[in-house]
Amino acid sequence: MSEEVFFNELFDQWAEDYDEAVAGGNEEYREVFEGYPRILQAVADSLALPKGSVVMEFGVGTGNLTSLLLKSGYRVIGIEPSAAMREKAKAKLPDLKLYDGHFMHVPDGLPSVDAIVSTFAFHHLKDEMKDRALQDLARRLNPGGKIVFADTVFRDEQTKLAMQQEAEERGYHELASDLKREFYTTVGRLEQAFQQAGFTVRFKQLNRFVWLIVAEQNQKN
């Protein structure tokens, strides 16, 4: 089974319970999603763009961040690989322009955008795929565009290993497996990837797991 198929099936299964999980209903993931509404608001606020700006969102999920973006007056192009998640999002936001795709497979014919956002999705890519994705995303931005992500990232590898061990000791076997299986990276590795793609990037930790990543495209001479 390919990684793409695996993660699509995983999120098809999770679609029904996703909103409950992010609200704290899953004990193992409660700290991962701690302050979830605040995390989404931080992403939306970090855009700081004029109303009517076009924002591309990867990993729309059930449409929670999307709703905030639309309320802020942005035009949103949504991209989501999970059919079950797309169905949930369309039920909440029937007028949303929503496409089947992901970071490594963006549908043809989409316009350039003013910003690209994502929450809890970029970690599905291996580090070398993150590099390629950022290079591609940079080409999809209008001049001076911005990328804003919120995702699980670790300060360093030692912190990552410590969090894995803590999850195992607390009996959080699903979370421990997730921390080993997924491609969670470090602040330093992500900073390097954004810089190589032509961005100035800053990080802010929002809970024990999640960091806000705000990257502004460098102006070309």
Per-residue pLDDT tens for 148-167? Answer: 999 999 999 999 999 999 99
Tokens, residue 40 = 């989404």
Tokens, residue 175 = 């979370």
Q: Is 24 annotated as a binding residue?
A: no
pLDDT for the residue 80? 95
Mean pLDDT throughout 189-195? 98
Model confidence band, residue 5 (pLDDT cutoffs 50, 70, 90) = very low
The most distant pair of C-alpha atoms in the chain lies apart, rounded to whole Å, by 54
Angle between helices 173-181 and 157-169 in degrees, nearest 10: 150
Query: Whole-model pTM?
Result: 0.91
Topology classification of domain 3-153+186-216? Rossmann fold (3.40.50)
Sheet strands (E) in 68-137: 75-79, 97-99, 113-119
What 3-state class would DSSP assign to 186?
strand
Q: Is 59 annotated as a binding residue?
A: yes
Mean pLDDT throughout 139-154? 97
Whole-angstrom distance, CA of residue 3 vs CA of residue 19: 24
